[in-house]
Amino acid sequence: ENPEDKSEAVFLSTAHACKFPDIFPVDIAAKIEIPKQVKALEGKLQHADKLGVDFEGFRSYLLSRP
């Protein structure tokens, strides 16, 4: 972290195992801990926008956001 760095960034990450419990055997799924950050999202309104796989479409989408 650098407080003087004023650059903007987008961080993409892989999904946590708690989002896909159905792909694990029951005994393993039962041991997956749900992070507090994920628990905090329970009950909140969801919103998703479907994007293509091309970078230019992704870039246009980001730049069009307020």
pLDDT in tens, 5-51: 777 666 677 788 898 889 999 999 999 999 998 899 889 888 888 99
Output b/e per residue, 21-50; b: 16+ Cβ within 10 A.
eeeeeeeeeeeeeeeeeeeeeeeeeeeeee
Report the predicted TM-score, pTM, of the whole model to 2 decimal places. Answer: 0.47
